[in-house]
Amino acid sequence: MQFRAVRFLPASIGIAAAALIAIGCASSSSPSSGSLTLYSAQHEAMTKAFVKGFEAQHSIKVKVRYGEDEGLAGQIEQEGSSSPADVVLTENTPPLEALSAKSMLSKVDSSTLAKVPAQYNSAKGEWVGVAARETVMVYNPNLISASELPASILDLAKSAWKGKLAIAPSEPDFVPIVSAIEKLDGEGAAKAWLEGFSSNAKHYNDNEGIMAAVDSGQIAAGIINHYYWFEAIAEQGKSKVPSKLHYFGNQDPGALVNISGAGVLAGSHDQKLAQEFLAYMVSKQGQVAMTKSGDWEYPLNAEVPAPPGVKPFSSLEPPQVGPADLGDGSAPLQLMQTVGLL
């Protein structure tokens, strides 16, 4: 599993966080064939699959700089019109919305947007959805029986869950859950849930830490994205992963589908080539390469099936909360700071 050293930070300190961004790998450009620079907050396996396929198709070099969502967004903002980035690929949509609000993204070609269901794209057409993942509860069946599983993620704030939960508030994927609860039930409900959940839970740095704690029996359950469990199964073998997944469904905020997206920087030195890279990522060829990379996220091009073994995307029952509802992520981050989680 890939470990990310830089955590999710509020947009207000994104520029300061840019100094912490990991130095990416880079390939030498070819003056005759051109090059692109990609800022990626996604897993290296997925990113490399896209880069390798596009380079083979276009005979160009793609330079990659890796980092976390907010760190990369802060770096782009700091660099401004002199940023070397042509394309940005994020783990979640709030950083893309923040860049869009600052007029730093170009419109995506309509033919590219058409490859993905409209609800998973920018409402303004300034980024395209690339991959999806489901919020799930991972639990140890030796510590929690099936009859004890909660009907809603909101139940995890109740005192019955005291000492049974793991939480990783600095994980980028945790913030959209707070946004979903706030959107569906209001700020007061989101604040009360955060306070209760935090009081009941032991804190971990990331989803990998939660998975390890649940599998070892240190803690009974935690909230993660589905693909961490499937990665563990693929790497360790099913017999060595005792945990199971619980899907909330019923349009519960705990069934949130998070979207990874990509956009072309308005200051890109080669708008045409950058648009072609976005088109490749959501094409059948690009999405197949992604699903074969071992990343276990859902493709958003309907022509491409999900990785084998994952719950069918069509059977998920997420809440009616889209990327536009999640905004730039600043509101839930402020709420998390208020309750002392950040």
Q: For the segment 268-323, what is each residue's pLDDT rounded down to a tens digit?
A: 999 999 999 999 999 999 999 999 999 999 999 999 999 999 999 999 999 999 88
Beta-carbon neighbour count of residue 13 at 10 Å?
13
State how far the Cα of 84 lies from the Cα of 211, in Å rounded to an integer.
Answer: 37
In the chain, DSSP finds a helix count (H) and a strand count (E) of 13, 10
State how far the Cα of 21 lies from the Cα of 109, in Å rounded to an integer.
Answer: 30
| pLDDT, tens digit (0-9, with 9 covering 90-100), for 14-23 | 433 333 333 3
Q: How far is CA 38 from CA 164, 215, 224, in A?
A: 41, 35, 27
Q: How many residues does the chain have?
A: 342
CA angle, 317 then 320 then 323, to 5°: 110
The pLDDT of residue 4 is above 80: no
Tokens of residue 43, six digits = 């897993």
| pLDDT, tens digit (0-9, with 9 covering 90-100), for 183-219 | 999 999 999 999 999 999 999 999 999 999 999 999 9
Strands 165-167 and 201-203: parallel
**Lookup result for tokens 């199964």:** 233
61 forms beta bridges with: 35
The alpha carbon of 66 is separated from its chain's Cα centroid by a whole number of angstroms, namely 14
State how far the Cα of 262 lies from the Cα of 242, in Å rounded to an integer.
Answer: 35
Report the amino acid identity of residue 328. D
Task: Determine the longest span between alpha carbons in the chain, in angstroms.
Answer: 65
Report the amino acid identity of residue 333. L
Q: Which domains does the chain have, with CATH numbers?
A: 11-132+259-311 (3.40.190.10), 133-256+331-338 (3.40.190.10)
| pLDDT, tens digit (0-9, with 9 covering 90-100), for 251-267 | 999 999 999 999 999 99
pTM: 0.86
Q: Where are the beta strands (DSSP E) in the chain?
A: 35-40, 61-66, 87-89, 128-139, 165-167, 201-203, 221-225, 244-246, 257-264, 298-299
